[in-house]
Every structure is written in C-alpha cells, then in structure tokens.
Amino acid sequence: MDLALTSIQIIIALGILNVWFVRFERRSGWRGGEAKNMREEFEVYGLPPWFMFAVGAAKVALAALLIAGLWFPMLTKAAAIGLAMLMGGAVAMHLKVKDPIKKSVPAMAILVLCTVVAVL
C-alpha cells in the first residue's frame, strides 16, 4: 500500500506542476470554454487575474507539500485535502460554464486521487 500511496502522491503533484508550469500558456482540450491558455480559462469562468495567481500558488504549494509528505508524512493529509477542495472548485467552474463533462475529467480524477490519499 505504501508504494501505491507514494505513486499516487507523485502523480498528483507532477500533474499539478505540469499544468501550472509547463502547460500554463498552451492549448488543452481540458480548458474551460474555448480558452487557449490559463489566463483565458479564468476569464471564461468570470474570475479576476489575481484569483488565477492565488489558485496557482495554492495548487503549487500543496503539490510541493505532497512531495514533502513523502519524507514528512504529517503534511500529506492536509495537502491532499486542500488540493481536493481546489479540484472541487475546478469541477464547479466547468459546470458553471456548462462545459461538457469530458473537460472536468482531469479535475475529477485529481479530486478522487486526493480523496484516496487523504483517507488512507
């Protein structure tokens, strides 16, 4: 179980870091509405630019805490719960703009994985 949990933590963290550092300015079939990058996606949701940076900082920090949780397990549950809450918000934003369910799949998957990490 430890290997599975460790693997899930790494998958979550790398996924979050990929979105916010590598794919931030890139097109993705998962973006809300017709957005071409992260800035446009937050505009589609009707959220201000400062909120994008706040969410990004929170997600990156929590992803880093998930990684740190590999050495300091007391950090893991809080990081997973925090990310689960943010992913719940992401799913809600997709629903708000009436995106097809397909666009919510990555956020839902991370939400489920974070829930697994938080519970185990």
- The domain locations on the chain are 2-23+43-119
Secondary structure (3-state) at 36: coil
pLDDT for residue 35: 96
**Mean per-residue pLDDT, 90-107:** 96
CA distance linking residue 8 with residue 14, whole number of Å: 10
Which pTM was predicted? 0.93
Distance CA 17, CA 95 (A): 24
Nearest Cα to 102, choosing from 19, 10, 28? 28
What's the pLDDT score for residue 1? 65
Q: Are 30 and 105 in contact (CB under 8 A)?
A: yes
Q: Looking at the predicted structure, is the pLDDT value of residue 99 above 90?
A: yes
Q: Is the pLDDT of residue 38 over 80?
A: yes
84 alpha carbon, distance to own chain's centre? 8
pLDDT greater at residue 28 or residue 1: 28
**What mean pLDDT, rounded, does the chain reach?**
96
